[in-house]
Amino acid sequence: MRSVVRMLGVVSIAATIAGGCAPQTEVVKLYDDPARSSKIYKRLLVVDISNDHSQQQQFENEIVLRLRREQVDAIPSHAYLDASDGLLRDDINRVGKAVGADGILVTHIASVDTSIDIVKGRDEIESTCRGGDPVDYFLYDHRVIREPDSVKLAHKVVVITNLYDAGSQDRVWAIQSTCFEKTSMSTALLDEANAIVRQLRIDLLI
């Protein structure tokens, strides 16, 4: 993959995808090679750059599953590469050639912002009558029920995705996808995978 590529910068919001993400997943086109041919990629090597190998596996598998639903023969790189040890461009190209990929889809999580909302617990009194006059407070057993504090997390996850042509090694496409207010990273990665694959289909790359 060539290290020098003409950047167009952030152009505009290419799509806003509401399905499955609360409130939405926003996709911004970062690059679209104006000289690229109308090539449809049918066999993609999916590479997530992450220092967490388990997260690399999860995210690649989510993307691969959705690509296969679009009839794309997708291969996760974690079977060949461990991104937590660092990845070289030559390593990715070597695996791409070995698996016969016509394109290489490279993702990385650019940022994760997590907000924490702590809801204070409360105490409630449960009273049980032991018999006698039900209006007599002293004929009741009283027990304090303590509800613990609860913690609510909301993740905002930004992912940068680049598509490279395996033959020319040129970058042909790039997006930034942002998922808002997800309660877990697993849910965020699932919605990010949906957004990435949907945008590939919208842009007629798969």
**pLDDT, tens digit, 9 for 90 and up, residues 84-104:** 778 889 999 999 999 999 999
Residue 131: inside a domain: no
Q: How confident is the model at residue 135 (pLDDT cuts 50, 70, 90)?
A: low
Is the sign of the CA dihedral 173, 79, 69, 98 positive or negative?
Answer: positive
Count of structural domains within the chain: 1
Q: Is the pTM of this model over 0.75?
A: no
Residue 129: inside a domain: no
Residue 140: inside a domain: no
Structure-block tokens of residue 81:
């590469």
Residue 34: inside a domain: yes
**Nearest CA among 111, 89, 109 for reference residue 45:** 89
* Separation CA 99–CA 101 (nearest Å): 6
The pair phi, psi for residue 138, each rounded to 5°, is -80, -5
Q: How far is CA 166 from CA 8, 11, 21, 56, 162, in A?
A: 21, 25, 32, 21, 12
Residue 195: inside a domain: yes
Residue 177: inside a domain: yes
104 touches 63 (CB < 8 A): no
For the chain, give the percent of residues with pLDDT over 70.
70
What does the DSSP 8-state code read for residue 85? G
124 or 42, higher pLDDT: 42
Q: Domain residues for 188?
A: 13-115+153-202
Residue 144: inside a domain: no
**pLDDT, tens digit, 9 for 90 and up, residues 41-72:** 999 999 999 989 899 999 999 999 999 999 99
**Residue-averaged pLDDT of the chain:** 81
Residue 146: inside a domain: no
**Nearest CA among 191, 201, 153, 206 for reference residue 17:** 191
Q: How confident is the model at residue 205 (pLDDT cuts 50, 70, 90)?
A: very high
| Residue 55 belongs to domain with CATH number | 3.40.50
138 or 117, higher pLDDT: 117
